[in-house]
Amino acid sequence: MATARDVVLIGVLLFALGTGLFVVHYTSRTMFTEMLSIGAVNQTESAVTIFSSMNSTIDRFDWFMFVFFMGLMISLVVSSWFVPGHPVYAAVYMVVVVVGVVAAAVMSNAWEAVSQSSHFVSTLSSFPITNHLLSYLPYYVAGAGMIGLVVMFAKPRDEGDTY
100: amino acid identity, one letter: G
CA distance linking residue 154 with residue 31, whole number of Å? 51
CA distance linking residue 145 with residue 99, whole number of Å? 11
Q: What is the pLDDT of residues 3-31, one digit of tens each?
A: 788 999 999 999 999 999 999 989 888 88
DSSP letters spanning 13-58: HHHHHHHHHHHHHHHHHHHHHHHHTSTTTTTSHHHHHHHHHHHHHH
Average pLDDT, the chain: 86
How high is the pLDDT of residue 137? 96
DSSP H or E run through 145: helix 137-153
Q: What is the pLDDT of residues 30-65, one digit of tens each?
A: 887 777 777 776 667 777 777 777 777 888 888 999
How high is the pLDDT of residue 84? 81
Break the chain into its structural domains and give their ranges.
2-20+62-153
